[in-house]
Amino acid sequence: MTPEAINAVSTVVVAGATLVLAALTAWYARITSKMLAEMRASRDPCVLLDLEAPDVGELHLVISNIGQSVARNVRFEVLHDVDWLQPVGGEGPGLASWPVIRNGVRYLTPGRSLRFSADRFQLHKTGMFEGTLQVKVRYDNEAGRELSRDVTIDTKLFGEVRFDSYRDSNWAVAEALKALDRGMNRKDPLRSVFLGLGKRPCPFCGELIPQAARKCARCHEFLPPPESHESTSGAPPGPPVL
């Protein structure tokens, strides 16, 4: 083989190796960029919206951040609503009337779940659980970049699902402790009397709650103010009866 041929072959080999190296470098850069994007995405917040029915006549709106960083300026846009839902504090029926849906959440830490109660409703009312909720959730990550998520809730499932689907182990432990406490109160009347000082029964579930409480810790119902037992006649008290 002549020197000219050797030089030509060497040039072709070097050019081919250069092209292969450039292709490998580009592929490696693309893979690295994708991995970095996935790592950044895994650190982003992830805000979810859901409805839970943990007990008969109870419906909770749950807003959760299952991501690994803070979600800021959480906003909700209800695209399709239902008219059988009556939120506590709402100005009318529907998910859009919920104050937290209208006002949003400014700061939602990772791992935090916020629960809001709806008014009690009849489970077998005609038209109950008909329709589909569609909500667009928008929020910002710590860098100020806007993220969004589309949420669709088929409300027909609430007419068929078991209530314990929404109860976790913490709920079961809490209920067991309350049942144990009620059993001890029945066995020891004096203990029940002392523990009941300064408390009143909840008109909805019967749980003993502080006199000044405005919301029951067991059924989460908003309570009327305690009735005043003071005389309103304005007349001075009469002499004691002997």
Q: Where are the domains of the chain?
A: 47-161, 169-210
Mean pLDDT of 216-220: 74
Nearest to 221 by CA among 200, 205, 201, 210: 205
Question: How confident is the model over 58-83, as a mean pLDDT?
Answer: 90
Confidence at residue 41, expressed as pLDDT on a 0 to 100 scale: 59
Is the CATH number 2.60.40 carried by domain 47-161? yes
Looking at residues 126-132, what average pLDDT do you find?
A: 66
Q: What is the dihedral of CA 92, 97, 103, 104, to 10 degrees?
A: 160
| Lowest mean pLDDT across 25-39, 126-140, 173-187 | 173-187
Q: What is the pTM of this model?
A: 0.55
User: Which backbone phi and psi does 102 adopt, to 5 degrees?
Assistant: -70, -40
pLDDT computed for residue 122 by the predictor: 47
* 87 neighbors 61 (Cβ within 8 angstroms): yes
Band the pLDDT of 135: cuts 50, 70, 90.
Answer: very high
- What is the pLDDT, as a whole number, of residue 242? 40
